[in-house]
């Protein structure tokens, strides 16, 4: 699957890399033979003209080798970087398509590591592999063949060297492969602890748990260090092994070659050429070994990246809608059931309700009764296990992403703001909106005053997650974005939870006026919101136990009366 990221233009460049590396390899293998010719037919015979002539040929061959090697290295780098970019984009696009369940199963820290460090590991492996993909195997085979052509009896040295290197490679890979996978898992664990520490820094400090978190991180860090050291020790053995093998093989060639030269069986140039070919062969094997060693760690990264790319999204949005919602659309929820993966009990049991255009329906109930779950199903952040949800008469599962996003506006209980400016945040909902429209949305959302107070106006900076804003300011900016978008269906999860009573009352009046033709499904337990609703739907343990106007439910529904009493409505309830 990872090879699918290699485009047609990359394949053409791969062919050119192979061609250049072949030229580099041929030049490399020709030089020892020319050198032997210089010694045997030039130096030993005192023929200086022959030495100069072959010297010029060797210079030309060397220049050709350098040009081929440089061109191949440049193209290899561009291919590896482009492939890494496309692979990183593929991983990111896949992450965007995952539902909350898949994100939770793999883990946010794991997804971040897969999209950054794992892709970087694969990209570096691709670069190194491209650099030696033709040179190493052909040089090794060609050097061995030409060495045997120089003198077959000396080739007995190769029969000892190659099995030794093969055994060394097998022993190293056998040890490093599981350790490489363990290193990536340890890194995931450290990322998870770091994310939790940063996200929960206020909670940690309020409970004076800094020392506990430091100890937790220290344990994970030491485990990472031990695994990394074990991997490093295993990989560190390979270079001394190669060095010993190379030196011993060179000594053996010089020893046996010297004996054969003394016996006039071969010439000195043959011994030197054989040594050059042996050196080239061992260097090629070392280059291949380096790629294999890196592959032992990158192999774990390949598996982790493939896990993301192969993960099927439980929410599969069609590329094109089957029809369009009628306008203005309402919401139909019909016998919907839902169970979170791994949960023992269902979150929703056969829930049915409707929200007509221009109607405000408020969902209320105890914590864990399924209010937010139902809201997310309407926005298709998940799919129900049974029943159906329709917007404008069309099943949401038949609507493509653009059509669904155009029809629905979702305000989560804890809205997330991306880094940038106030204007950039607001225009996420309406990219073509001018500054006048932005200021109007801010004024409607009761946010104009604090934006003007920053002194930067619409260019006021917003940190990632809205970290430089209060909870109420984040909520009002999110509402302003929603008002600017003007969807046909509003899904509001506790829209006034971070606001004071006065601001909430003014904003509620604005929303009633600005969204009067839209269908509004609101999750709330605020008394003022419940009283103002056209209809209140009471959920208890995932089931609808009552619905109707506030006054009727207060008189007839025990669950709703308990909710009102718990929210301070004792006098009214009595």
CATH code for position 30 = 1.20.1560.10
Q: What is the CATH number of the domain that holds 564?
A: 3.40.50.300
Portion of the chain with pLDDT greater than 90, in percent: 18
288 within domain boundaries: yes
Instruction: State whether 218 and 354 are in the same domain.
Output: no
- By the 8 A CB rule, do 446 and 503 touch? yes
Torsion of CA 506, 437, 427, 397, to 10 degrees: 70
315 within domain boundaries: no
pLDDT bucket at 572, cuts 50 / 70 / 90: very low
Instruction: State whether 498 and 553 are in the same domain.
Output: yes
Mean pLDDT of the 562-566 span: 84
For 408, the 3-state DSSP assignment is strand
- The pLDDT tens digits for 253-294 are 788 788 887 887 777 777 787 888 778 887 787 777 777 777
* Residue 394 pLDDT greater than 80, yes or no: yes
From 276, 310, 344, give the residue that closes a domain. 310
Q: What is the pTM of this model?
A: 0.66
pLDDT at res. 437 = 92
323 within domain boundaries: no
Instruction: State whether 294 and 430 are in the same domain.
Output: no
- Tokens coding 216: 């937790």
Burial pattern 487-524, b for ≥16 Cβ within 10 A else e, equals bbbbbbbbbbbbbeeebbeebbebbeebbeebbbbbbb
pLDDT at res. 9 = 59
Instruction: State whether 286 and 372 are in the same domain.
Output: no
Instruction: State whether 303 and 393 are in the same domain.
Output: no
Instruction: State whether 426 and 456 are in the same domain.
Output: yes
pLDDT at res. 573 = 41
* Residue 59 pLDDT greater than 80, yes or no: yes
The least confident of 89-98, 120-129, 237-246, 373-382 is 237-246
**What is the tally of structural domains in the chain?**
2
Q: What is the 3-state secondary structure (H, E, C) of 536-558?
A: EEEEECCEEEEEECHHHHHHHCH
pLDDT at res. 373 = 92
Integer angstrom CA distances of residue 412 from 21, 240, 368, 375, 396: 57, 59, 16, 9, 19
pLDDT at res. 320 = 57
Burial of 190 (0-12, 13-18, 19+ CB in 10 A): middle
Mean pLDDT of the chain: 82
Instruction: State whether 152 and 33 are in the same domain.
Output: yes
* Residue 415 pLDDT greater than 50, yes or no: yes
pLDDT at res. 496 = 87
Strand positions, DSSP E, 95-160: none
Mean pLDDT of the 130-134 span: 76
* Residue 165 pLDDT greater than 90, yes or no: no
Query: Domain range holding 446?
Result: 331-573
322 within domain boundaries: no
Instruction: State whether 154 and 255 are in the same domain.
Output: yes
Instruction: State whether 182 and 75 are in the same domain.
Output: yes
Integer angstrom CA distances of residue 386 from 220, 351, 383: 43, 10, 9
Instruction: State whether 353 and 295 are in the same domain.
Output: no
pLDDT bucket at 77, cuts 50 / 70 / 90: confident
């Amino acid at each position: 699957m990872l090879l699918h990221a290699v485009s047609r233009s990359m394949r053409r460049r791969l062919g050119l890399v192979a061609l250049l590396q072949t030229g580099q390899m041929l030049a490399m293998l020709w030089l020892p033979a020319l050198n032997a010719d210089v010694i045997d037919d030039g130096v030993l015979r005192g023929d200086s003209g022959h030495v100069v002539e072959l010297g010029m040929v060797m210079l030309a061959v060397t220049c050709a080798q350098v040009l081929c090697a440089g061109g191949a290295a440049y193209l290899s780098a561009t291919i590896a970087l482009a492939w890494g970019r496309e692979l990183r984009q593929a991983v990111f696009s896949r992450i965007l398509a995952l539902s909350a369940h898949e994100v939770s199963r793999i883990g946010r820290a794991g997804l971040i590591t897969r999209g950054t460090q794992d892709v970087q590991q694969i990209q570096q492996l691709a670069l190194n592999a491209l650099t030696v993909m033709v040179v190493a195997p052909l040089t090794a085979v060609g050097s061995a063949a030409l060495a045997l052509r120089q003198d077959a009896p000396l080739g007995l040295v190769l029969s000892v060297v190659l099995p030794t290197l093969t055994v060394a490679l097998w022993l190293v890979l056998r040890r490093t492969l599981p350790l490489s996978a363990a290193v990536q898992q340890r890194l995931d664990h450290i990322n998870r602890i770091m994310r939790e520490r940063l996200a929960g820094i206020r909670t940690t400090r309020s409970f004076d748990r800094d020392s506990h978190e430091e100890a937790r991180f220290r344990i994970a860090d030491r485990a990472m260090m031990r695994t990394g050291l074990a991997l490093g020790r295993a990989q560190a053995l390979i270079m001394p092994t190669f060095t010993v093998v190379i030196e011993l093989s060179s000594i053996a060639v010089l020893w046996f070659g010297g004996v054969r030269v003394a016996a006039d069986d071969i010439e000195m140039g043959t011994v030197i050429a054989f040594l050059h070919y042996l050196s080239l062969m061992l260097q090629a094997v070392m280059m291949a070994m380096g790629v294999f060693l890196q592959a032992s760690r990158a192999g774990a990264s390949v598996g982790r990246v493939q896990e993301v790319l192969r993960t099927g999204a439980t929410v599969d949005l069609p590329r094109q809608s089957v029809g369009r919602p009628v306008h203005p659309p309402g919401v139909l929820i019909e016998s919907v059931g839902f169970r979170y993966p791994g949960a023992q009990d269902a979150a929703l049991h056969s829930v049915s309700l409707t929200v007509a255009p221009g109607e405000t329906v408020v969902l209320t109930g105890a914590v864990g009764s399924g209010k937010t779950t139902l809201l997310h199903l309407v926005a298709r952040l998940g799919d129900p296990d049974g029943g159906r949800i329709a917007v404008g008469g069309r099943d949401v599962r038949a609507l493509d992403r653009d059509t669904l996003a155009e029809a629905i506006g979702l305000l989560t209980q804890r809205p997330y703001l991306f880094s940038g400016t106030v204007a950039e945040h607001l225009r996420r909902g309406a990219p073509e909106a001018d500054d006048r429209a932005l200021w109007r949305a801010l004024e409607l959302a009761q946010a104009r005053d604090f934006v003007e107070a920053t002194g930067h106006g619409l260019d006021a900076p917003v940190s990632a997650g809205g970290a430089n804003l209060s909870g109420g300011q984040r909520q009002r900016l999110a509402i302003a974005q929603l008002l600017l978008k003007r969807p046909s269906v509003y899904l509001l999860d506790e829209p006034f939870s971070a606001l004071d009573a006065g601001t909430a009352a003014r904003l509620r009046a604005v929303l009633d006026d600005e969204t009067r033709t839209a269908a509004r499904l609101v999750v709330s337990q605020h008394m003022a919101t419940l009283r103002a609703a056209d209809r209140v739907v009471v959920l208890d343990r995932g089931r609808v136990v009552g619905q109707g106007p506030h006054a009727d439910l207060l008189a007839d529904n025990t669950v709703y009366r308990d909710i009102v009493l718990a929210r301070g409505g004792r006098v009214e309830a009595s």
